[in-house]
Amino acid sequence: MQGLNIVVVGGANGFGLETVKLMIRDEASKIVIIDISEERLEAAKAELSGKGTEIITVAGDIARADTAHRAFATAVNAVGRVHSVVNCAAIYPRAPLLEITDDMWDAENAINIKGTYHIMVAAVKHMQEQKADGQISGRIVNITSVDAFKAHPQNAHYAATKAAVVSLTRSFAHAFAKDQILVNSVAPAGMATEKAKSLGFLGELAAANPLGRAAEPTEIAEFVVMVAGPKNTYMTGEQVIVSGGYVYA
């Protein structure tokens, strides 16, 4: 990833932060982290600074078009050209299938679907301006979930939003292939994040997986780095499922 400028949305903690760390390992030039929490951004910058990659933080609410586009414009102003965008931001509040409220639906849709869409629109408009014959204009990677492909009655509203992002990924890939913009998604199974540990369902994730364990976040992040990086020159509109055998493509 040498010489690349990357925007990671939702990269201030959890899986997004682990992805940023691998990009630093692979010597990305500049990484802009967009997150709604200034506190998380400050903590992430303190942890990541001084490791060879310039870290820029932008506080912004991606649930609205105006604020999402403003945050992305701030990222562009900071780095000049954005080569890759990774959409990690999502919320995951569990609820039984018959007890999902309107407020729960609205919150999930605002971040997981609308927020991803708004950033993709801003990214595509920027990448179209970078178009050059025979060159990739940019790469967009959306983090979805295996829940988009299997029944998930414990968290159906979350699963539905991730299925929507799979559809958006395909639509954007098809629409902007002519501009040499590669749009893909990475769909992980359950990960051993700090949040999963704190909420107490890590054992459930491990038991459901043929390998008998949840994935370490870095195991999934490796695929994100590959799809977002210069080695990906031909794959677009694909769903990279990394599930330990939980889902077979």
Residue 70: count other Cβ atoms within 10 Å of its Cβ: 15
3-state secondary structure 70-103: HHHHHHHHHHCCCCEEEECCCCCCCCCHHHCCHH
Q: Angle CA(245)–CA(248)–CA(249) in degrees, nearest 5?
A: 140
CA angle, 107 as apex, 105 and 109 as ends, to 5°? 65
Write out the catalytic residue numbers: 158
Q: Are 6 and 23 a contacting pair, CB within 8 Å?
A: yes
